[in-house]
Amino acid sequence: MKKLEDILATIEKERGGVATIHSAFEAFPPGVEAHYQFYQQIFLGEHLPLSRLEREWLAVKVSIANECPYCMGHHQEALRLQQEKIGLEMEELRRDALSELALKLTTEPFKAHILKEKFLNAGFQEAHWQHAVFVISYFNFANRLAHSMQLDLEPEFENTCS
């Protein structure tokens, strides 16, 4: 098992800082490590089906639905940075399909499957659907972590939003 200091050092090196959502769980290092690894694989990877812009959009929509100011703060900033970086907006049909899925999977997960055909008709493929389900589910998990620990945005949180 890795030491907490090593896990946090890795996060800081890779992300430009350590978000409170990781450091708040210092008494459970295996959870910190597993959480960060999952976040890297599902959200930060470069060659994933959904674009980083689309992933950030989902993060914001889920966090709004869950009323999670901590995750809203982080991912609204990251969304802004992504929009600035690529200089364009998402196509409306895709954005609406992502928004609808984020809300449905967050508030009525047992009904989310009914949106699949509409999602695919918005120009997405099966890999996009599956990735979106993972991203939305991850942010429901992360929002619950943030709520349960009553996390506040850390000073200079923007450093971890790229």
Q: Which pLDDT score, from 0 to 100, does residue 85 have?
A: 84
Reply yes or no on whether the pLDDT at 162 is more than 80: no
Q: Where are the domains of the chain?
A: 48-160
| Model confidence pLDDT, tens digit, residues 80-95 | 989 888 877 788 999 9
Top-tier CATH class for 48-160: mainly alpha
Residue type, 68: C
pTM score of the predicted model: 0.94
Which of 135, 159, 67 has its CA nearest to residue 107?
67
Dmax over CA atoms of the chain, in Å, equals: 47
Residue 99 buriedness (CB in 10 A; 0-12 / 13-18 / 19+): middle
Model pLDDT for residues 120-151, shown as the tens digit of each residue: 999 999 999 999 999 999 999 999 999 999 99
- Provide the 8-state DSSP code for 1: -
